[in-house]
Every structure is written in C-alpha cells, then in structure tokens.
A and B are shown apart, each in its own frame.
Chain A
C-alpha cells in the first residue's frame, strides 16, 4: 500500500462545470501522475509533477490543468468539463526506491460528464 487516496471516488457533473479531483499521498514521494483510463487505450498520462509547483504535460493534457502546492497533494482540474472527459482517472506515484521506475496507483475516480 503506497498510501494513495483519491477523492471523490465517483462524480457526476454537467457539461461546462468545473471539476477538481484530488490525489493525496502520505509517503512524501516526489513524483506524482494523473492518468485517464478509457477502453482500448489503456492508461494515458494527462499531467505529472516532479516536485512542489513543478508540473509538466503528458500525452492528453488539453482541457486539464494541475496544481501541486504541497508534496502530499496533486490536484487535477477540468476547467469546463466536456462529455469526452467522462473517464476513470487514476493518480500514481513513483516509489523511487532502488532506481526502479515502477508506479503505484490510487483506487481511481469515476467521472461522468452529462
């Protein structure tokens, strides 16, 4: 257990509304990631963070922004949700131990945009 929690776990919202998803970790890991999971696409990286206030874009970053004001929290914001952003969102951290780059995942947030 890498001590990762995500909130909310489920959310239904309407097109055009802002949505913020939270990822919280308890083990002071430097790297944090946001992915979305869609059938047939596996997981695709949205944004990642390599430290407080240090973030960068991933493969599918359009329509998403992130913030990391403290080590333990990584927020994903959909400024104006669209139906194409209906997905399951996963947060992950890199353990960083032993030079490996394996990632550990949170339980996910299922977001439905109507």
Chain B
C-alpha cells in the first residue's frame, strides 16, 4: 500500500520568491512519483515525474523535484515564482497502474 502526505494545504509566496511544495510518500515497492498541477476549473496536467535514474527531475514551467529515498520525499521547487504559477499542486505515487494522490497544496503568488 502507498500513501502521500503534502505538508501545507495552502502556501503563499511573493512573485520572484522561491517556491517549495513538500511531498512525503510511503510505498512498499520502489515508487514512481509524480507532480500534477491544476489550474482553476481545469483538469490535472502532468508537471514532472520520477521513474528511475537521475533523482533530480526537471519539469515544465521551470519546476523541478528531487527524489530522496532516505527521506521518502519528493519536494517540488521553482527558483522564482510567477503570478501564472498560482494553482493547486498534487503529488502522487504509483504502484502498478494505480495512483495515490496527496491532498493537494494551493499555491498563491502575491505581487
């Protein structure tokens, strides 16, 4: 069985500041890990994924995430926030063909 915990249901940053969204997972098998983004009134869009290999994963829109097995974490970062980054972000872990999602973090970007 797997589970995902996203720390902080709401995160607020100023435009230009570092974005850090936290995700911790538990999995009984080597995990595949994903971050999805959801803009208002839209479906989920894949931001980035970790499967195997390099533990630092780069995604779209300047986001990246680092898989840390020892910490069972997969935190999402972006060096400089833009207003357009305001959205809800979901971390997910996969085992087989099943995805388990975290509760989501709503990112607010202040001008």
Contacts and interface: CB of A to CB of B under 8 A. Distances in A.
B73 to A, nearest CB: 17
A100 B46 contact: no
A105 B101 CA distance: 13
Contacts of B94: 101-102
A24 interface: no
B43 A107 contact: yes
17 contacts: A33-B99, A40-B103, A42-B4, A42-B104, A43-B101, A44-B101, A50-B97, A101-B94, A101-B97, A102-B32, A102-B46, A102-B49, A102-B94, A105-B36, A107-B43, A108-B42, A108-B43
Interface of A: 31, 33, 40-45, 48, 50, 90, 94, 99-108
Contacts of B101: 42-44
B44 A105 contact: yes
Report the interface size class on chain B. 20 to 34
Given A43-B44, A90-B43, A107-B43, A101 B90 contact: no
A-B pairs with the 3 shortest C-beta distances?
A: A42-B101, A105-B43, A101-B94
B97 A31 contact: yes
Contacts of A101: 32, 94, 96-99
B102 A42 contact: yes
Given A100-B51, A107-B42, A94 B97 contact: yes
Nearest to A45: B98
B92 to A, nearest CB: 8
A106 B43 contact: yes
Most buried by B among A31, A40, A41, A102: A102
Nearest to B106: A39
Given A48-B97, A101-B32, A101-B94, 10 more contacts: A31-B97, A42-B4, A42-B101, A43-B90, A43-B99, A50-B97, A90-B43, A90-B44, A101-B98, A102-B32
Contacts of B25: none
Nearest to A104: B46
